[in-house]
Each structure stands twice: as C-alpha cells, then as structure tokens.
Amino acid sequence: MKTRLITGLIAGVFFLGMCLLGGIGYQMLIVAMALVGYYEFVRMIKLPPFRGAAIFGYVCILYMTFPWSLLGLSMPLEVLPALWLMMFLFLAITVFTKNDFPISEAAILFLGTAYIGIGFSAIAMTRITPDGHGVFWTFLMLAAIWSSDAGAYFTGRRFGKHKLWPAISPNKTVEGAVGGIALAVVAAVIFSLFSGGLLTIGRALLLGVSAAVVGQLGDLIQSAYKRVYGIKDTGKLLPGHGGILDRCDSWVVVFPFVHILMLLPYY
C-alpha cells in the first residue's frame, strides 16, 4: 500500500501538472500513454509487440491521439471512417499473409486499437474543449474517477459483505460499489459549488454517477480480460499499480462515455 500511495501521488501530481500546462507537452504525454497502453495490450494477448500487424496498430493509435488541431492541422479522416479503414486493413493483412496472421488476431488487435485509441483521444481532447475550460472538465472527471476508486476501496474494506462479481473480481463488493458512487457524486457536486455556474448540480450528479458506474465497469472489463490471459497486471511501469492500462482502465471508458452523453462540451 505504501508503494502504491507514493507512486500514485507522484504520478498524479505529474499528470495534473502537465494538464495545467496544457499545450503540445500534455497532448504528447497522452500520445505516449496510449502507445504504451497498446504495447501492454499486445503483450498481454501473447503477440509480438513490434512485429507484423501489431506495428500497424501503433500507427492507428498515433493517428487517433495525435494533436492535429493544436498544430493547425485537420484530421484527414474523421473517427468513424478512419475506424472502418483500420478494420479493413487489419482484415486485409490476413489475406496478404495467407492466414499466417489469422482473423482472430486481426479482430483482437482492432478491438485493442479502438479501445485504447478512442479512450485516450477523448482524454486528450477534453483538455481543449471549445468553452476554454478544459482543465476544469479534466480535473472534474479525474476527481470523480479517483473518488469512486477510493470510495469503493475503503467502503468495501469496512462494510463489504456481498460480492459484486466474484467470477471476475473476487475482492469487489456491492457495498464498495455503492460507496464509490456516493463519493464520486460528492466530488462532482463540490466541483459544481465552486464552478461559478459552469457546472449545474444536475449535470454534476449525472457526471458523478457516470464516472463511478462506467468507471467501475471499466475496471471489471480489464479484470475480465486479465483473468482470461492469466495475468495480474498489464505492465510494471508504475510500481504498486502495474501498467498504464491498469491505472487508466476507468479513464479510457469514462471519458468517451460522458462525451457520447454530451455531458461535457464537445471538442
């Protein structure tokens, strides 16, 4: 726990500091995190991370997370047609390799590309929302996610009796999940009270609940696929936390989700 707390504090302060600074530095940090996350994903599914079709995945991740707008550029293709083209090319590789790269591997690499690329792209773009308050929205979502994690952990340890989903994550409890939702809502409401009218109480409640429920589901999703592959952590980059995907499992689903619901200013 001591190692986890120290690592979390250092990483959190660094990330929030970079977010405050913004600009290309922050955006390239997100690009780097996404590429490392994809590397962890490819290693987890037992494929060579720097060979064959996996290399194309890095190109796809870079395309989706690259700070086009900050450099005064327009993304050549919007996300939906770009995703279709990525899928098509992954499948085409199965033909060109005469099934040495089978469709099962194409499918899972494409899934990982979309999961990680869209997730980190939404995180990056939240910082440059058109209302000019990207720092506020990013900090709000991170505070809600982290509050949910803390609430679930400590409430679960103190009051947890009923297992939430033991087949996937044996330590999570219903009581912990409820505690996580409650603390995330509290965090979002506090942001609302100090937002000067930028965030209404109603939207804060929706954001808090979304961050907690979807974030906990994102945690369970990662627990599910790590269980399939028989690993505890996706990487070792962050002592006490594992890899980038272990630390950002909630982020990569919460940020796109709240944008889909149009709860944040659309980038």
pLDDT computed for residue 19 by the predictor: 97
pLDDT confidence tier of residue 22, bands split at 50, 70 and 90: very high
pLDDT computed for residue 253 by the predictor: 97
Those residues with Cβ within 8 angstroms of residue 87's Cβ, 6 or more apart along the chain or in another chain: 110
- The percent of residues above 90 in pLDDT, for the chain, comes to 76
SS3 content of the chain, % helix, strand, coil (to 5): 70, 5, 25
User: Each residue of 48-101: pLDDT tens digit?
Assistant: 999 889 999 999 999 999 999 889 999 999 989 999 999 999 999 999 999 899
Above 70 in pLDDT, residue 1? no
Backbone torsion region of residue 73, taken as left when φ is above 0, otherwise alpha when ψ lies between -120 and 50, otherwise beta: beta
* Burial of 191 (C-beta count, 10 Å sphere; 0-12/13-18/19+): buried
